Amino acid sequence: MDPVEISKLIEAGFDNATVKVIGDGSHFEALVIASEFEGKRSIARHQLVYKSLGELVGNEIHALSIRALTPEEWQARSESPRG
C-alpha cells in the first residue's frame, strides 16, 4: 500500500484535514490534523482515523502509528521552541 493512497483515504474521511503519511508498504506513520478531533480523547481520535481506512487496517496496513491533533494543538506545537 502506498502512503499517498492512505493519505487520500484519511483525507476523504474528514471535512478539511491535513494529512501526512510515511511508511514502507505495510507499516505507516500518520500525522492527521483535523478540527473533528476537538474535545475528543486520543482513542476516539484514532478510531476516527481507523474508520476512514476501514478493513485496510490489519490487512494491507499491518501497523499504523497515529498523531491526531486539532489545528490549535498543531499550531501550539509549531510555535513551541521544542517544536
Domains of the chain: residue spans and CATH: 3-79 (3.30.300.90)
Task: Give the C-alpha separation, 67 to 74, whole Å.
Answer: 10
pLDDT of residue 59: 86
For 47-69, how does the pLDDT look when each residue is reduced to its tens digit (9 = 90+)?
999 999 999 988 888 899 999 99
C-alpha cell at 6: 492512505
pLDDT of residue 9: 96
Q: What is the residue-averaged pLDDT of the chain?
A: 93
Task: Give the C-alpha separation, 61 to 42, whole Å.
Answer: 20
Q: Is the dihedral of CA 47, 65, 15, 59 positive or negative?
A: negative
C-alpha cell at 23: 511508511
For 19-55, how does the pLDDT look when each residue is reduced to its tens digit (9 = 90+)?
999 999 888 999 999 999 999 999 999 999 999 999 9
Prediction pTM value: 0.90
5: enclosing H helix or E strand: helix 3-12
pLDDT of 80 > 70? The answer is: no
